[in-house]
Amino acid sequence: MNRKMATCEGSEARSVLSRVPPLLTDLYQFTMAYAYWRADRHNEPAVFELFFRDNPFGGGFSLFAGLSDCLLFLQNFAFSDDDVEYLRSVLPADTDAAFFSYLKELDCSAVSVSAVPEGSVVFARVPLLEVSGPLAVVQLLETSLLCLVNYASLVCSNAARFRLAAGPRRRLLEMGLRRAQGPDGGLTASRYTYIGGFDLTSNALAGRLFGIPVAGTMAHSYVTSFSSLEEVWPQTLVPCGGAGSVDFICLVKGWLGRVCQILGSKTSLVREGELAAFLSYAIAYPQNFLPVIDSYSVSCSGLLCFCAVALALCELQYQPLGVRLDSGDLCRQSLEVRRVFKECSKQFSVPQFESLIIVGTNSISEQSLAELSKKENEIDVVGVGTHLVTCTSQPSLGCVYKLTEVRGRPRMKMSEDPEKSTLPGRKSVYRLLDADGHPQMDLICLSEEAAPEAGVSLTCFPLGLNKTLQTVTPAQVTSLRLDVFTCGQITFPLNSASESRERAQISLQSLHPLHKRLQEPQDYTVVLSERLHSLVSDITKGNSKGSNFLLSN
């Protein structure tokens, strides 16, 4: 592991500990834990599983994210003396004092977790995490684990959809920190949108903590803060690799006249303040010159000012980067900007202008990005903020954490709403692949059942109401979950953001295009083994018969 990677992982661990202490949970977790403790049930072996009920955004898939944060949280789970004293103050006064002594000694040394690897494509109703351990402890973990997985997986899936809408060529910049739901929402969004397929973030802290490439341009406020060339200081620039200072203002003025001449533009319409802003910024960052050019008028001022300053930088052997467009018809404007770049390259024999990039930002949504991708345009990088990090089309993934076993006995929640019923017992989950390597269906079966084999037919029941038995012969079989946390220790390497990102890309590439369609995707099939289906039926029938326990002596 290199020093930079080690630094990122250490920073990430500290970030999780500061953001998610064990007290970050719902009060009723402590009242239930106390009731378990009073009944001497707190150490009974229990199993919970975490899943979501519907694929987000009306789509055909989701990406699982948040696992590394969950593992770091579990490894460091412990209540401080101050935590316990606070709980003593909010729980009923007659709470047994010995319970607080119990909390002081509590940790996850008896907890084990199996999970789908972070960045994997996942589907509704498939258990993503299985958490086993003492009943009171694994109950206390519920809210924190849901908090760590829900938004991370939602925003990661949202990012994957933006990536599909953008196509593989165009680079995507996440710039939603100022629009996010608080500092933690912004930091979480930066990490998991990168895993979901974005290339860059504007969030400096995310770059430091997670090793994500950072990028930025300039704000309109910088441009509008200037009104006169007299505000530019210093006014000189040393050529790249050279000696002696050049009067940069004079050089740029000369280029501005030449640019206006070949384009037939009027120098009288150029905003002096905009030119001053570009000059000042270029002198400060001659190797990273990428201004926003729509503070006033793109065609009459912003583009002309950029070309003049960029040509002057090229003359001094610097390489300008490009421009940002933030309003209006981005496609049409990008075509005009590229035409002007090519004209300057041709007229002034400056090949560097052929490689200038165009960044587009303007309240980009998934729909507008998909529409942009269908139109002719020259946008190289798209910056997305509000609609990405706030997940405006769906605010929550709706993950749940449900009890499936206590003391080795299966447990099942039944509801008047069949969709809210749970699947009982400890389970294994397998992904069945077709002959082309595409995921065909996910099989949920009881943990004691033999694993399915490639080329061997099996019978199963599609998940849902009134589904009939079917037979399938998988070409390949993979086990979805791995043991990641055993008796208080992380047993699976923590993935960096870039490693999880790579897994997400590979996982999405394997998914059939019909399941990746942004609109009206084909439903992915999740099936139950015959034994699990029979167990569900037996428990349901047994529950419908009722009980005579009130009549017994």
Residue-level pLDDT at 143? 98
Answer yes or no: do 310 and 383 share one domain: yes
Strand partners, 325: 360
Same domain as 279, residue 417 = no
Same-domain check for residues 238 and 385: yes
CB 109 within 8 A of CB 488: yes
Has residue 7 got a pLDDT over 60? Answer: no
pLDDT in tens, 247-301: 999 999 999 999 999 999 999 999 999 999 999 999 999 999 999 999 999 999 9
Whole-number pLDDT of residue 464: 77
pLDDT band at 361 (very low <50, low <70, confident <90, very high): very high
Within 10 Å of residue 298's Cβ, how many Cβ atoms?
22
Report how many domains make up the chain. 2
Domain boundary residue, one of 340, 371, 389: 389
- Residues 513, 440, single domain; the answer is yes
Instruction: Give a yes or no: residue 184 inside a domain.
Output: no
pLDDT in tens, 20-74: 899 999 999 999 999 999 999 999 999 999 999 999 999 999 999 999 999 999 9
Which residues fall within 8 angstroms of residue 24, CB to CB, at 6 or more apart? 143, 144, 147
The yes-or-no verdict on residue 243 having pLDDT over 90 is no
Q: What is the phi/psi pair of residue 172, to 5°?
A: -120, 130
SS3 call for 356 = coil
Residue 177 lies in a domain: no
The reply to whether 429 and 296 lie within a common domain is no
Out of 349, 373, 389, a domain closes at 389
| CB 475 within 8 Å of CB 542 | no
The helix, strand and coil proportions of the chain, stated in percent and rounded to the nearest 5, come to 45, 15, 40
**Under 8 Å between Cβ of 459 and 469:** yes
Environment class of 541 (CB within 10 Å of its CB; exposed 0-12, middle 13-18, buried 19+): exposed
Q: Are residues 374 and 265 in the same domain?
A: yes
| Of the residues 323, 357, 389, the one at which a domain ends | 389
* Residue 418: per-residue pLDDT: 74
Q: Which two tokens stand for residue 534?
A: 């029979």
pLDDT, one tens digit per residue, over 485-518 is 999 999 999 999 999 999 999 999 999 999 999 9
Half-sphere exposure of 435 (CA within 13 A, CB side): 2
For the chain, give the mean pLDDT: 94
Q: Is 175 among the domain residues?
A: no
CA quadruple 371, 374, 376, 378: dihedral sign: positive
Burial class of residue 153 (count of CB atoms within 10 Å of its CB; 0-12, 13-18, 19+): buried
Pairwise CA distance, residues 380 & 66, whole Å: 30
Kindly state whether residue 209 falls inside one of the protein's structural domains.
no
383/202 Cα distance (integer angstroms): 9
pLDDT score of 242:
82
H or E, element range at 46: strand 45-51
Provide the residue range defining the domain that includes 356: 218-389
Residue 4, pLDDT > 70, answer no
| 483 found inside a domain | yes
pLDDT for residue 553 is more than 60: no
- Give percent above pLDDT 70 in the chain: 95
Q: What is the pLDDT of residue 5?
A: 46
pLDDT at 219: 96
CB contact set of 122 (below 8 Å; sequence gap of 6+): 61, 62, 63, 64, 116, 128, 153
The pLDDT, as a whole number, for residue 3 is 52
Are 395 and 57 in contact by the 8 Å Cβ rule? The answer is no
In a domain, 206, yes or no: no
Q: Using CA atoms, how far apart are residues 215 and 207, in angstroms rounded to an integer?
A: 9
> Do 370 and 404 fall into the same domain?
no
Q: Is the dihedral of CA 527, 532, 533, 537 positive or negative?
A: negative
CA distance 527 to 464: 9
- For residue 149, give the nearest of 177, 173, 103, 113 by alpha carbon: 113
My answer on whether omega of the bond before 395 falls inside 30° of 0, hence cis, is no
Written as one string, the DSSP assignment of 78-125 is ---HHHHHHHHHHS-TTS-HHHHHHHHT--STT-EEEEPPTT-EE-TT
Residues in the chain: 553
Q: What pairing do the DSSP bridges indicate for beta strands 236-237 and 246-247?
A: antiparallel
Tell whether 374 and 440 lie within a shared domain.
no
The pLDDT score that the predictor gives to residue 468 is 85
Whether this model's pTM surpasses 0.85: yes
**Residue 1 pLDDT class (50, 70, 90 cuts):** very low
Please give the average per-residue pLDDT across 302-327, as a whole number: 98
Q: Is the CB of residue 120 less than 8 Å from the CB of residue 196?
A: no
| Predicted local confidence at residue 519, as pLDDT | 95
376, 460: one domain: no
- 207 within domain boundaries: no
Higher pLDDT, 15 or 483: 483
pLDDT value of residue 111: 98
- Same domain? For 238 and 313 the reply is yes
For the segment 171-199, the average pLDDT, to the nearest whole number, is 96
What local confidence, expressed as pLDDT, does residue 8 receive?
A: 55
* Structure token pair of residue 226: 């200037």
Same structural domain, 223 and 267: yes
- Output the domain CATH number for residue 315: 3.20.20
Please tell me whether residues 330 and 462 are part of one structural domain: no
Q: Is residue 191 part of a domain?
A: no
Residue 500's CATH number: 3.20.140.10
